[in-house]
Amino acid sequence: MTPRAEFIVVIDDEERMCDSLRTLLTGNGYNVEAFQTPIDALEVIKERKVDLVISDIKMPRMNGLEILREVKRIDEGIPVILMTGYAALDSALEAIAEGAYDYLLKPVEFTHLELVVSRAIDKRKAELARLQLMEELKLSNLILQRRIGELNALYEAGKSIGSSANLSELLRQIVVLASSVTEAKTGSIMLLNEARKYLTIEAAIGLEDEIVRTTRLPIGASIAGYVAKTGEALIVKDVEHDARFKRINRERYGAASLLCTPLKIKNDILGVINMAHKEGGGVFSDDDLRLLSTFASQAAVAVDDAYQFEKNRRRLAEFEVLHEIQSESHSISSLTAFRRVLVEKLQKVFEVDYAIWFDIDPTTGRLMADSALGDTDMPLTDSGRINLSKMEQIDIILKGFDPGTINLSDSKQLTDLVVASLRKNANYPKPRHAYMAVPIFRRGELAHIFYLGANCERPYSEDDYSLARLVISQAAVLFERERALLNATRLLTMGNMISEISHDLRKPLTSIRGSLQIFKERWPDIAGQSELFGTAEEEVHRMNDMVRELVDFSNPNKYETSKEDLQRIVSRAAELVKPEMTKNQVSFRSEFANVNWEVILNKNQILEVFLNLFLNAIESMPDGGTLTVTGRVKKPPHRDEQYLSVSVKDSGPGIAKENQARIFERYYTTKETGTGLGLVVVERIISAHSGTLHVKSGVGKGTELTVYLPRPN
């Protein structure tokens, strides 16, 4: 029989009895050791796990009751069976009182002994299982208490985080709370810049202001850069002896223990949280890292929500700016007032301290300052100041300006040229961190540059560039045409935008409002007692009211762009007008050069352009004809760079020369039922895309309209 795990110690001064019991119990599968000397037996009991002791009572050096007491002192849970050939009531009562499991008389019946041993072993097993369960319960209770403490800390942290909509304040709270839950004396939160190339410290505790202000950490560099690149949380027990980072971080952290975990939403990394110098000089544990990672997940959601809130707030501000420019443009009587209004509106979205309006000669790159706006006296250097009005008297030449090699519609490229020239001219304020040069086109030609600057440390962002260009280009178009439009036309145009704005802005507001309602239903006590919850509901309703106020003013989708295949858009427009071509018996031909036709554009607007051109062409051929579309790469008239061109040619009657100059005027039409707005819309859309239009026609020779759009870099 295979020996079992149960270990029995037999103690009897008679060798024959030891042998008999060993044989019997070993035959039943027990692991048995027999001793004639109690002292030897007790040494084994001290050293090994014993499940049962069987001992004679009458022995010369130590009797069974003394052995019983010693065994109980070693391990109170070991059952002890006492045997005697000299039964006495007093000894039996004393044995039971001392904790003996049973009291047997010699000679012992083996069948009865087997039963008693089996029961004693079962009791021992049950007792050991109970003790193990108690230990496990104690350990589980300790773990549970720690988890409850951690959850309470996370819950309190979550409440604090959720109470701030301001991103800067939110980040400060995150650092303070993270240092609290991890017992760290030094910590920081670093966010990726817009280009996702480096990390900057946005909030910190225990770090010098100079470090916070100047740190620019490339992705992949140092501990934080490593975590931002890999997206995996990291614990460094000792920077001094960590081969990966000690050479990089030793000066800043010394021999500190570090934690670093990413701020991650799904697979998108927003930044990292760093914690160092544990209280008391201790080393961070895996539990600390797990707790910080859990906290970082919660914080990442809060940061992302703050981003989205800020994005929505900014977007509402942008719409407000567009609306105000639109609504005020009819009352602006001079170009100077128009420029001042532009600056005032842009200041609502980002910092603008001064602005210079340049006229430009696109052939020579000569900039002529027409007006300057801003502080009367603005710092030029640490030792001098300059009056902005003096700049209106000075012209400069853009160094390296070559329309054939630069993309005039690229604000950043143009900004670099303008800034390089301004830096060489002592009469202009030296550009600091925030500056931009926005191109303004007139009928597809670069006509002006509006230079904006601010005395702040933060550079203008991509969104700032996009908004400035959008606002200025749209405002310029509005200003030039507003005086020729009737109020009814403007209101009609704005009315067409209502449905798109409602769809675009009300969706996130509906989501927020729904989330608040779910929260209120699930946790009514918290919602009812929270002033912040009521404020959130009020603000959502207020934002919804703002959306209703803005629906008459602008259409966000008009200004959203993406990389699209121009050839596919043209093909789609042809499919949509196919019934009209069939009805008028117009045949269709198309040919496109084998080049990259992907362009950054607004898909719906460009589709509208070609629908207008196709319908005009079809209407010019009521008795049938041929509509030919040709896609090429070539230079537009008066331009030096190559553009993507799409020509739409009909075989209709053509346009008289004296009428060709008027086809882009509002309300001009030769059709009995036409509105005269089709080509006006086409020109406006192409101009907004930094493109140009060219018409070629003659009486009896048909008409060819060519759309030119800048090629992607």
Q: Which residues of 92-113 are buried (b: 16+ CB within 10 A; e: fewer)?
A: bebbeebebbbbbeeebeeeeb
Residue 207 neighbours by CB distance under 10 Å: 18
In this prediction, residue 404 carries a pLDDT of: 56
Q: Which has more pLDDT, 169 or 391?
A: 169
CA-CA distance, 237 to 692, in Å (whole number)? Answer: 63
What DSSP string describes 3-27? --S-EEEEE-S-HHHHHHHHHHHHH
Q: Please write the tens of the pLDDT for every residue from 21-51.
A: 888 889 888 899 999 989 998 999 999 889 8
Q: Please write the tens of the pLDDT for every residue from 384-394.
A: 344 555 555 55
Task: Give domain limits for the chain.
Answer: 7-130, 163-305, 332-484, 498-559, 562-710
Q: Hey, what are 228's tokens?
A: 């931002």
SS3 675: coil
Q: Torsions phi, psi of 102, nearest 5?
A: -155, 165
Averaged pLDDT score across all residues of the chain: 76
User: Residue 57 gets which letter from DSSP?
Assistant: S
Q: What is the dihedral of CA 239, 186, 300, 516, to 10 degrees?
A: 160
Q: Please write the tens of the pLDDT for every residue from 92-107.
A: 788 888 888 888 888 8
Which of 3.30.565.10, 3.40.50.1220, 3.40.50.2000, 3.40.50.720 is the CATH number of 562-710?
A: 3.30.565.10
Return the percentage of the chain with pLDDT > 90, whole number: 7
Taking 80 as the threshold, does the pLDDT of residue 331 lie above it?
no
CA-CA distance, 279 to 139, in Å (whole number)? Answer: 25
For the chain, how far is it from start to end, CA to CA, in angstroms? 85
CA-CA distance, 469 to 692, in Å (whole number)? Answer: 17
pTM recorded for the entire structure = 0.38
Q: Quick check: do 163-305 and 332-484 share a fold?
A: yes
CA-CA distance, 346 to 229, in Å (whole number)? Answer: 35
Which pLDDT band holds residue 486 (cuts at 50, 70, 90)? very low
Q: Where are the beta strands (DSSP E) in 12-150?
A: 31-35, 52-56, 80-84, 102-105
In this prediction, residue 632 carries a pLDDT of: 92
In this prediction, residue 676 carries a pLDDT of: 36
Residues in a beta bridge with 591: 630
Instruction: Calculate Rg over the CA atoms of the chain.
Output: 43
If you count them, how many residues does the chain have? 713
Q: Where are the beta strands (DSSP E) in 426-578?
A: 434-442, 445-454, 562-565
User: For strand 52-56 and strand 217-218, is the pairing parallel, antiparallel, or unpaired?
Assistant: unpaired
CA-CA distance, 648 to 618, in Å (whole number)? Answer: 11
CATH topology for the 163-305 domain: Beta-Lactamase (3.30.450)
The CA–CA distances, whole Å, from 616 to 195, 572, 577, 586, 675 equal 44, 17, 11, 12, 12
Residue 267 neighbours by CB distance under 10 Å: 6
Q: Please write the tens of the pLDDT for every residue from 535-548.
A: 777 777 767 755 65
Q: What's the CA angle centered on 280, arms 279 and 282, to 5 degrees?
A: 85
What DSSP string describes 602-650? -HHHHHHHHHHHHHHHHHT-TT-EEEEEEEEEEPPTT--S-EEEEEEE-
Cβ contacts of 275 within 8 Å, gap of 6 or more: 178, 179, 182, 184, 186, 187, 258, 259, 260, 284, 288, 292
SS3 236: strand
Q: Please write the tens of the pLDDT for every residue from 395-430.
A: 666 666 665 566 656 666 777 777 777 666 655 555
Q: Torsions phi, psi of 651, nearest 5?
A: -110, 30
Q: Hey, what are 539's tokens?
A: 């603000």
CATH number belonging to domain 332-484: 3.30.450.40
CATH topology for the 7-130 domain: Rossmann fold (3.40.50)
Return the percentage of the chain with pLDDT > 70, whole number: 72
Supply the angle between the helices 246-253 and 222-230 in degrees, to the nearest 10. 120
Decide: 174 and 203 in contact? Cβ < 8 Å. yes
In this prediction, residue 553 carries a pLDDT of: 40
